[in-house]
Amino acid sequence: MTFSRDLKIAPSILSADFANFGAEIEAVETQGADWIHVDVMDGHFVPNMTFGPPLCKAIRKHINTVMDVHLMISPVDQYIDAYRDAGADIITAHIEAGPHIHRTLQHIKSTGAKAGIALNPGTGIGDMDYLLDMVDLVCVMTVNPGFGGQKFIHSQVEKVRQLRAKIGDRPIHIEIDGGITPETAPLMWDAGADVLVAGSAVFKGGSVSNPKPYGENIRAIKASCG
């Protein structure tokens, strides 16, 4: 992966047709997706359950861009190797997911994956001071984690602006996860984000047999950012 601050859209497969993941991924990439975002939930750290390593391994062969795996699980450390072995290019863990986030990031980096850290809406950026030189991505949650289709939390715009200033010229992506639409995307782009995760906003109106709406939705989000 070559670092770039160009705007990237990362459709979340949480909003895809679960019975047809491979074809959905191929369709959305063909229609302009930059990354593929995989939301992993455990029913414990967040109130939902989704995808284990075998599913990630199964879909890996359909992904030609970047497999961006967001672990909303706790404890997290003992699953890092499994998700890397399944093909994750980026592995993101929540700052609250274990007692030693520094060690967790070290573990992720040791696998050869890019390391990400996720911040819930109620989590500040102060704890990032001694972590920024270890991470490749900071994921700012703009909804409370656990479910797709939630309402965007506007207080996170200022958090992203402050985070962008703190990052400075470090090659770190700022990713936004939750409530991204053509209306909210420019707020985050202007604040300094460069990766926008979008689920229902990308997959709405389309299907494997009719993928053109996926492309139209992706282009609408990008166009809203200027």
Question: So which residues are the catalytic ones?
Answer: 39, 177
* Structure-token pair, residue 88: 């994750």
Helix (H) or strand (E) holding 37: strand 36-41
Q: Which DSSP string corresponds to 159-226?
A: HHHHHHHHHTTS--EEEEESS--TTTHHHHHHHT--EEEESHHHHTT--SSS-HHHHHHHHHHHHHT-
Q: Give residues with Cβ within 8 angstroms of 58, minimum separation 6.
A: 21, 22
Helix (H) or strand (E) holding 138: strand 137-141
Strand order in the sheet with 195-198: 8-11, 195-198, 173-177, 137-141, 114-119, 90-94, 67-72, 36-41
Q: Distance between CA atoms of 83 and 69, rounded to whole angstroms?
A: 8
Cβ neighbour number for residue 194 with a 10 Å cutoff? 21
Sign of the four-CA dihedral 82, 71, 171, 33:
positive
